Chain A
Amino acid sequence: MRMVLERGERRLLLIELVYPLLLLAMGVYGGLMQTLMRAGIVQRDPFLGPNYYQGLTLHGVFNAIVFTTFFAVAFGNALVPYALGKRLPMRWAWVSALLMVVGSLMAAITIFAGGASVLYTFYPPLKAHPAFYLGLVLLVVGSWVAFFNWIPLYRHWRRENPASKTPLAVVGIFATFIVWLIATAAVAVEILFLLLPWSLGWTQEVNVMLARTLFWFFGHPLVYFWLLPAYVMYYTMLPRLAGGKLYSDAAGRLVFMLFIIFSIPVGTHHQYMDPAIGSNWKLLHAFFTFAVALPSLITAFTVAASLEYAGRLRGARGLFDWLWKQPYFSREQWLFSYLMAGLIIFIFGGISGIINASYSMNVAVHNTSWIPGHFHMTVAGPVLLAFLGMSLYLIAQVAGKEVRFRGLAVAAPWTWLVGLLLFSFAMSRGGLLGMPRRTNLGVTYLNPSSPFFREEWVLWADLAVVGGVIMTLAIVLYLLTFLGTLLSRQATEPALAFPLAEAYHDEPVRALANFRPWIVAALILIAIAYTPVIWDVLRSTYENAPPYLPSSPLPVQPAGQ
């Protein structure tokens, strides 16, 4: 099925796809500079100067928050109307895009101006300029508007098709945004009630642990907000790209529902090493964290089974032959290589994630460079590659172009895989020796003339540079195909056509037909998991903190004193 795009829809999608890629390109550049500065190879960024942490804020905010949120919205704006056979209501779609562009520009400008070198987690009592917090709020509200804009489409469709199953793609996108809505509510509370009034000088002090806990209420589901659009592609498109069928439709639905339930009551696994939260409650969150690994294991099975089915259609025999009968380097099915390279990276991302989640084992890795080693294998692995692949796929259709330089398009994800695995191995390995994350090591610990020099970290920081260079190269290859495609002559009429797969097992499961019971279950688990945590925080913190700027050990004086 093809869905011809109208002018307004084309423009909207073009903006929502191209703009975040510009920011991502800057963010990736920032990442390369970080590896070099950490290793002590360069002392200053030619654009941003010597402040490592300004660059790191840019890197985290642009790559992990702005790029991902924009892509999820653009993907939904294309996929939901397509899968339901409806037209996107344009007025609210534009409102959403406007909010997101304005919000992200506010945040970006504040970061460039040096007013928000607080990293993408913006922990108080380090204080950013209010425009940074406000920009983030607008970005998030814009993404809510996009979601609310799809709900009436679904309602109409349901009225017209009372007996049909909701398309799996729509279930996946809605699950993504349900998780997002619940999660961002907490960070909205953190920003609107704690940080924004405080950074404006309307309130004097903030409860740091409370803000931190609200942040991680949001921060873990954030990673599923990144991951779920990739899962949508794995379930609904990858089997078709491989030439087969989705092994089980019900498995896909179950997985999305499990993510709604378990994504959120797990946030304190980022706070295992924090004070003011009872270790018993941390263990409860650890338990739920293992539960949320279950849908990923089911996905590993379903994806493998779907690929095996495709491989057998192509004549694979025996137990493992199907592994070799996949279009890994096919220029025809170039999108397959993005999804597949991401899945391979995700094996390691998942394993290292289970290690992090393992409660007291977190002692060995918390806040060492093991952690960025881990999450580049998730957010900069399956998530990034799925998003890049789909952005290219969409931009070609939205602009009515043929994908150009397909050889490069296929080379990019595999190059990324090589660079990333090297980078992540180096970061992780250094982390096991205590190499800290979020630290400009090049000035002190990896500066041979500093009294704090740490020889044993040198190898790993240098190896991370090599990985980082290869990753940057992969992005260059990608941008060449992307721009080559975008700037080529129009070849076809702009129209959407997603490679949606049929299901091999397609029996309806009643319990999975409706979101409501799963959302209720999620809210109950959140109440169970978070009430005691918040209570502990409130009863054990004995004072709040005034704001500090990163540049000074003295608190910011309230205006007029």
Chain B
Amino acid sequence: MDRAERSTFVFSVGLLGVFFIAVVYASMGRGIEVPTCIVDREPFARDTLFERQPGLYELHMIARMWEFRPGEIRIPAGSEVDIYLTSLDVIHGFMIENETESKAHMARPLGVALAVPRYTGHNVNLMAVPGAITYARARFEQPGTYKIVCHEYCGDNHHFMNATIIVE
């Protein structure tokens, strides 16, 4: 290795190291987690939504060809929701978007809109897989309609499969 090569090598390792530390910080320091392995929950085949503690809801969400149950969820602003999700048939996808923000973004000047979307997601992006339960916690501060689109191909009518969360 000559000098230029050696310094590039060190720089590359360093750069990737910094990226990885940032990733660890985002997940552990800022609590943005990815779904994990769940072994201590009873399997469920029916959907429910109930208030477990004041302001903390528990949602059992079912995905099946080609609907989510419940298809519409109403909760008060400021609630936190523990989402448990499974599928009764094939694999489905589940991502909570933030409609209010994305509409607002289209009203901005084109140059700004091109550069960056105003993105305040809920960090909820899950796969619903038969035979497994998945989990995420989301906080809903702003009133509005939050859309959920099935984002994994699940058969002929996949593009009809969606749900909404209405925060009042």
Interface of A with B (CB < 8 Å)? Answer: 51-53, 56, 117, 119, 123, 125-126, 207-209, 212, 248, 250-251, 271-280, 282-283, 286-287, 290-291, 293-294, 297-298, 301-302, 305, 354, 358-364, 366-368, 429, 432-434, 436-441, 443-445, 452, 454-456, 505, 536, 539-545, 548-553, 555
Chain A to chain B contacts (Cβ below 8 Å), 9 pairs: A56-B153, A125-B130, A271-B127, A273-B125, A273-B126, A298-B12, A359-B26, A363-B124, A445-B149
Which of A275, A301, A366 contacts B133, CB < 8 Å? A275
Q: Is the CB of A456 within 8 A of B155?
A: no
Minimum distance in angstroms from A248 CB to a CB of chain B: 6
Report which of A208, A251, A305, A359 forms a contact with B34, defined as CB distance below 8 A: A359
Contacts of B26 in A (CB 8 A): 358-361
The answer to whether B16 touches A293 (Cβ under 8 A) is yes
Pairwise interchain contact A545-B131, C-beta atoms closer than 8 A: yes
Whether the Cβ atoms of A294 and B12 lie closer than 8 Å is yes
- Rounded to whole angstroms, the CA-CA distance of A287 and B93 in the bound complex is 25
The reply to whether A279 and B123 form a contact with Cβ atoms under 8 Å apart is no
Contact at B8–A429, with CB atoms within 8 Å? no
Whether A367 pairs with B34 at a CB distance below 8 angstroms is no
Known: A358-B19, A358-B23. A273 touches B159 (CB 8 A): no
**Distance of B131 from chain A, by nearest CB (Å):** 4
CB contacts (< 8 Å) of A550 on chain B: these are: 155-156
Q: A433 — which chain B residues lie within 8 A by C-beta?
A: 97, 102, 105, 117
Pick from B2, B103, B150, B159: contact of A440, CB under 8 Å: B159
B26 vs chain A, min Cβ distance (A): 5
Complex interface: chain B residues within 8 A of A275 (CB): 35, 37-38, 126-127, 129, 132-135
Q: Are B149 and A434 in contact (CB under 8 A)?
A: yes
Closest to A302 in B: B5
Q: A277-B36, A297-B12 are in contact. Are A354 and B19 (CB under 8 A)?
A: yes
- What's the Cα separation between A113 and B1 when bound, in Å? 56
Cα distance A291–B13 in the bound complex, in angstroms: 8
Chain A residue with Cβ nearest B134: A275
Tell me if B109 is interfacial: C-beta within 8 Å of chain A: no
Also in contact, A367 and B95, with CB within 8 A (given A283-B24, A445-B159, A540-B39): yes
Task: Report the separation of the CA atoms of residues A277 and B132 in the bound assembly, to the nearest whole angstrom.
Answer: 10
Encoded as 1 (CB less than 8 Å from any A CB) or 0, chain B from 36 to 71 comes to 111100010000000000000000000011100000
Tell me, in angstroms, the Cα distance from A293 to B150 when the chains sit together: 31
**A272: chain B residues within 8 A (beta carbon):** 34-35
Residues facing A in B123-163 (CB within 8 A) are: 123-127, 129-135, 147, 149-156, 158-160, 162
Indicate if the CB atoms of A125 and B43 lie closer than 8 Å. Answer: no
Is A294 within 8 A of B13, CB to CB? yes
Q: Are A545 and B152 in contact (CB under 8 A)?
A: no
Q: Distance (Å) between the CB of B9 and the closest chain A CB?
A: 7
A residues in contact with B123, CB < 8 Å? 360, 363-364
B residues within 8 A CB of A273? 34-35, 125-127
1/0 contact trace for B68-85 toward A, CB 8 Å? 000000000000000000
Cβ–Cβ contact B95 & A545, under 8 A: no
The reply to whether B125 and A208 contact each other, CB–CB distance below 8 Å, is no
Shortest distance between the CB of A509 and any CB in chain B (Å): 9
Among candidates B27, B43, B119, B155, residue contacting A542 with C-beta atoms closer than 8 Å: B43
Q: How far is the CB of B6 from chain A (nearest CB, A)?
A: 11
Task: Report chain B residues within 8 Å CB of A282.
Answer: 34, 36
Let me know if B16 and A364 touch, CB within 8 A: no
B115 smallest CB distance to A (angstroms): 10
Query: A99 CA to B113 CA in the complex, in Å?
Result: 51
B24 CB contacts on chain A under 8 angstroms:
283
Residues in A whose Cβ lies below 8 Å from that of B133: 275
Taking the complex as formed, is B166 at the interface, i.e. its CB lies under 8 A from any CB of chain A? no
> Which of chain B's residues have a CB closer than 8 A to the CB of A208?
91, 129-132
Flag B84-122 by CB within 8 Å of A: 1 or 0 each: 000001110101010000110110000000100101010
Chain A residues near B168 (CB-CB < 8 A)? none
* Cα–Cα distance between A108 and B134 once the two chains are bound (Å): 35
**Residues of chain A contacted by B103 (CB below 8 angstroms):** 455-456
Cβ contact of A359, chosen from B27, B102, B149, B152, cutoff 8 A: B27
Q: A53-B158, A445-B149 are in contact. Are A363 and B131 (CB under 8 A)?
A: no
Q: Is the CB of B159 within 8 A of A545?
A: no
The one of B64, B66, B132, B156 that contacts A53, using a Cβ cutoff of 8 Å:
B156
Q: Which of B91, B151, B153 has the most CB of A within 10 A?
A: B153
User: Are A364 and B93 also in contact (CB < 8 A) when A434-B102, A445-B149 are?
Assistant: no
**Closest chain B residue to A292, Cβ basis:** B16
CB distance from A442 to the nearest CB of B (A): 8
Report yes or no: A540 in contact with B38, Cβ–Cβ below 8 A: yes
Q: Is the CB of A436 within 8 A of B150?
A: yes
Query: A432 and B158 in contact (CB under 8 A), knowing A279-B36, A548-B90?
Result: no
The reply to whether B152 and A209 form a contact with Cβ atoms under 8 Å apart is no
Residues of A within 8 A of B16 (CB): 290-291, 293-294, 297
Chain B's closest residue to A545 (CB) is B130
Task: Report A-chain residues with C-beta under 8 Å of the C-beta of B4.
Answer: 301, 305
Complex interface: chain A residues within 8 A of B102 (CB)? 433-434, 456
Q: Which residues of chain B are near A248, meaning CB under 8 Å?
A: 1-2, 5
Supposing A298-B9, A354-B19, A455-B106 touch, asked if A444 and B159 sit within 8 A by C-beta, the answer is: yes
Known contacts A117-B156, A287-B20; can you find 17 more A-B pairs with CB under 8 A? A126-B153, A273-B126, A275-B133, A301-B5, A301-B12, A360-B23, A360-B33, A361-B26, A363-B124, A364-B119, A364-B123, A367-B151, A454-B147, A545-B130, A552-B65, A553-B89, A555-B89
Tell me which residues across on chain A come within 8 A of B20, comparing CB atoms: 286-287, 290
Select which of A209, A283, A440, A452 is within 8 A of B27 by beta carbon.
Answer: A283
Contact B151 A437 (CB under 8 A): yes
